[in-house]
Structure 1
Amino acid sequence: MSQHASVLTSDFRASPYWWEAAPPETCLDPLPPRTEVVIIGSGYAGLNAAIELARHGREVVVLDAEELGSGASTRTGGMISSGQKLVVGGAIKGIDSALFERMIEDSIDSFAFIQRLVRDERLDADLAIHGRFFGAHCPGQLPKLFEMGDILQRVTGVNVHRLSREKQHSVIGSDFYHGGILVDDYGGLHPAKYHRALRELARRQGALLHSHARVTAIDEAGADRRVVTARGNILARDVIIATNGYTDTLATPRLARHVVPVKSYQVATEPLPADLLEALIPGGRMITDSRRDLIYARPSPDGTRLLFGSRPGLWQIGDREAAVKLRRRMLEIWPELSDYRISHAWSGKVGMTMDKTAHVGEMDNAHFAVGCNGNGVALMSWLGHRMAQKLLDSQPRPLSFDRESFPRPLLYNGRPWFLPVVSGWYRLRDALDRRFG
């Protein structure tokens, strides 16, 4: 291939690779005037809440501002785990030890829940548990990764393996990292197929799903709530907000000031030779590293492409421009991909919180479950299920993420003005670590 050839394929698409197999859906059926529960947001949390509520006889209406399945749930990398993110993300700091133990327990339950759901309902989701490698970005970070692995094994019970730089080739075909850890209890699925399967299951249980029904207000109406949408109003006994990184100040002005939407970008390569992909990521594992401005990568579920995610820079940019920058970061790890182009590039908003943990509670005349912090596939699925149990008064125990304290960033009004500063600081520290660490 000529070195002057474009890094994008001739049929390049600025949309998720996942949508090729399971595209978003439009449903413009008329909205009912009344229902028992309105769920705002058709992501994993909203759909799992709808499934549990409808299964127990509740009338449920799910609303989405855009197409069903066009939000972050089908723009994710599709990775699933148990309680690792709470330790890796730093949430362990500043949290009462008893509460943290309950969070770990709940997170482990979320990992078991999604596996059980896919198995018992026979969902077409391409779920596989192959493990995840965390690479040390510089030599000085390897002992920290080993320590983190020990904590993971102790508090979550997962299997963790220490890998030197020489031994890391058994899980990643790259010399970029300086060793790392392999966590066995980690997996991946096809996020758009999983979403489609949830939509089908929710409908079989009797839930109604509606697209292009942006909610502009949630008002008190006696004992009920009036949900005002772009396609009409609905009266409901209860409202659940499950918008996560797409929470806005229009209908949920208070909640939006607690959730920070961080844009994450991904690319998919054109089809690769099977032996090359197996050499780059033996065993089809998930990949990430110890950088503050981390990357994440994985093979596509069908084993044909490499998927790579990161932030391309300090500022938000278009997906096509991001594809070129992400490819450069990808080639730092796998220079063998220099002869292969990018076929898809896309982005989505991750719902981050000040304390790096999810939150459940009541605000803006509604119940809510938000704050996946980059760990949403299993956790938000489970939180939606548990929110439904809370409304049904059937939850087995109080939810650890349901607590009064929900801190928000200083001077934050729903617009993340500070993200370029934070990203720049992270990248500077990563560069210094790489050079001197």
Structure 2
Amino acid sequence: MRNADNLFAPDFQTTPYWWDRTPRPHLPETDPPVAADVVIVGSGYTGLHAAVEAARAGMATVVIDAEAAGWGCSSRNGGQISTSVKPDYATLSRCYGAAVAEAILRDGQASLDFVGDFVGREGIDCDFRVVGRFHGAHLPAKYDALARALEAPNPAFETRAFMVPREDLHGELGTDAYFGGCVFPNHASVDPARYHDGLLRVAREAGAKVIPHCPATSIARRAGTHDVATPRGTIRAGRVILATNGYSGPLSPWHRCRVIPIGSYMIATEPIAPELMDRLFPKDRVLSDTRRLVYYYRPSPDRRRVLFGGRVSVSETDPRKSGPKLHAELSRLFPELRRTRISHSWMGFVAYTFDTLAHIGETDGILYAMGYCGSGVGMASYLGAKLGLKAAGFEGACTGFDGLSFSTRPLYSGNPWFLGPAVMAYRIRDRFGL
């Protein structure tokens, strides 16, 4: 077995691959104003899209963050954009009725369309491409399940998805590890850090003030307003938007106990030969598979490296430890990459919910959107914009997620003590197709 230390390239880094091209921005660390129409906690996709809409509506808008702008998963994710809703129409209909099910699924499609429209409209150079997704069946039964799922009714939108049998697999992907799969041709890819960088520019040009390294330490409700305390002073806010997702902490216990922060780990390989890239990834798709502990991967935008992510540990771990495990799975799928070293290994926190749906709403006067369940590029952008419209009191801010019960579980306060056993159970289910 190869020594794990030999897997790392000489210039190995534990920062995201995306940051090489787009480092975290250096914004002025100014003191916040004493008052604002809207204060947004969190400067990722959710917070900045809310800021764009609020500022363009003429509201004095302040965005604060405990770290650099976009330091969290908005610049750490895999850059894959889907329709963002995990439950299917039948499941949603049983839980909420046909009308709500259709509305939620329409929002899923709208979230995908929203990013492409926004990038084009605002002139953001972020390698946005509609490349399609190949979703691999890791067991024969999973191929059959995918085929049945494509035949099931979906009155909300047309997926145009199609099945790829195993004998045609190499037309999509240079591996023998899958028993076929399906293609969702509308799904897209993006450089997430460049997308965030462009979004930050748009928000600031709209008039939003973005203050990094300025954490909110408390939010106190007053008569018709909120006091948002920071180490640099307190802001009297007409409206407050919580946009913390997988980085939600003790600031709001109500929200914290409704999302499950889960570390998602990624590696980037050293550059590989163009002919090998063309053989392994002939269609330049984004990729995932049918495991519950899903792997997601893709070529880098310049098609020089492979970016590979997933959950490979029972508990949260160090990227130096997760990197070799991810590399082992990458090599299992593509033996030709076994000797290719790791240039970057990093992680970020996504937020899951107990019903595997995103949520948007208002509680105690605080507007929020969170719980994107690993599909945050599109849905965080879309729901963030909706939050900005809601804060400004505009029409057109309604979604299919409005009014859904945002549930928690007894004894859960934000520390996912159950994650280790759940990961072990999912591994067993993935192995046997349960």
Query: Could you say which TM-score interval applies, normalised by the shorter chain?
Result: over 0.9
Q: Whole-Å Cα distance in 2 between the matches of residues 152 and 35 of structure 1?
A: 47
Q: Whole-Å Cα distance in 2 between the matches of residues 345 and 281 of structure 1?
A: 21
Deviations 1:294-330 (A, max 9, x none): 1001011111110000111212110011001100011
Residue 70 of structure 1: aligned partner? 71
Matched, 1:49 2:78: no
Matched, 1:161 2:173: no
Alignment of 1:253-268 (within 5 A): 253-268=253-268
Residue 297 of structure 1: aligned partner? 297
Opposite residue 271 of structure 1, the aligned amino acid is P
Alignment of 1:43-122 (within 5 A): 43-82=44-83, 85-87=86-88, 94-122=95-123
Q: Whole-Å Cα distance in 1 between the matches of residues 296 and 157 of structure 2?
A: 22
Residue 131 of structure 2: aligned partner? 130
Deviations 1:187-243 (A, max 9, x none): 110000000001111111111001111111110232211001122211110000011
Opposite residue 403 of structure 2, the aligned amino acid is R
Q: Whole-Å Cα distance in 2 between the matches of residues 83 and 248 of structure 1?
A: 24
Q: Is the 8 A contact 1:31 1:232 kept in 2?
A: yes
Tell me: CA distance 1:403–1:84, structure 2 relative to 1, closer, same or farther (3 Å). closer
Tell me: CA distance 1:89–1:256, structure 2 relative to 1, closer, same or farther (3 Å). farther
Residue 421 of structure 2: aligned partner? 421
Secondary structure of 1:100's aligned partner: helix
Residue 252 of structure 1: aligned partner? 252
Q: Whole-Å Cα distance in 2 between the matches of residues 86 and 93 of structure 1?
A: 11
Tell me: CA distance 1:232–1:106, structure 2 relative to 1, closer, same or farther (3 Å). same
Q: What is the TM-score when the length of structure 1 is the normalising length?
A: 0.95
Tell me: CA distance 1:154–1:97, structure 2 relative to 1, closer, same or farther (3 Å). closer
Q: Is the 8 A contact 2:386 2:398 kept in 1?
A: no
Q: Whole-Å Cα distance in 2 between the matches of residues 34 and 127 of structure 1?
A: 37
Deviations 1:331-386 (A, max 9, x none): 11011101210000111111111111111111254111111111110111010111
Q: Whole-Å Cα distance in 1 between the matches of residues 124 and 35 of structure 2?
A: 30
| Cα drift, residue 91 of structure 1 | 5.9
Secondary structure of 1:215's aligned partner: coil
| Cα drift, residue 392 of structure 1 | 2.0
Residue 378 of structure 1: aligned partner? 378
Residue 400 of structure 1: aligned partner? 400
Q: Whole-Å Cα distance in 2 between the matches of residues 221 and 6 of structure 1?
A: 58
| Cα drift, residue 113 of structure 1 | 1.2
Q: Is the 8 A contact 2:262 2:350 kept in 1?
A: yes
Q: Is the 8 A contact 2:65 2:214 kept in 1?
A: yes
Opposite residue 20 of structure 1, the aligned amino acid is D
Q: What is the TM-score when the length of structure 2 is the normalising length?
A: 0.95
| Cα drift, residue 88 of structure 1 | 10
Residue 228 of structure 1: aligned partner? 229
**RMSD of aligned Cα (Å):** 1.9
| Cα drift, residue 106 of structure 1 | 1.3
Q: Whole-Å Cα distance in 2 between the matches of residues 349 and 264 of structure 1?
A: 6
Tell me: CA distance 1:93–1:350, structure 2 relative to 1, closer, same or farther (3 Å). farther
Opposite residue 191 of structure 1, the aligned amino acid is P
Tell me: CA distance 1:230–1:86, structure 2 relative to 1, closer, same or farther (3 Å). farther
Secondary structure of 1:347's aligned partner: strand
Opposite residue 321 of structure 1, the aligned amino acid is K
| Cα drift, residue 94 of structure 1 | 3.0
Structure 1 residues without counterparts, runs of 5 or longer: none
| Cα drift, residue 395 of structure 1 | 2.9
| Cα drift, residue 31 of structure 1 | 1.1
Matched, 1:356 2:356: yes
Opposite residue 348 of structure 1, the aligned amino acid is G
Q: Whole-Å Cα distance in 2 between the matches of residues 415 and 397 of structure 1?
A: 32
Q: Whole-Å Cα distance in 2 between the matches of residues 295 and 289 of structure 1?
A: 6
Q: Whole-Å Cα distance in 1 between the matches of residues 394 and 158 of structure 2?
A: 28
| Cα drift, residue 56 of structure 1 | 1.7
Q: Whole-Å Cα distance in 2 between the matches of residues 92 and 285 of structure 1?
A: 31
Q: Is the 8 A contact 1:80 1:375 kept in 2?
A: yes
Q: Is the 8 A contact 1:268 1:305 kept in 2?
A: yes
Structure 2 residues without counterparts, runs of 5 or longer: none
Q: Is the 8 A contact 1:84 1:152 kept in 2?
A: no
The share of aligned pairs that are identical, in percent, is 37
Q: Whole-Å Cα distance in 2 between the matches of residues 152 and 267 of structure 1?
A: 37
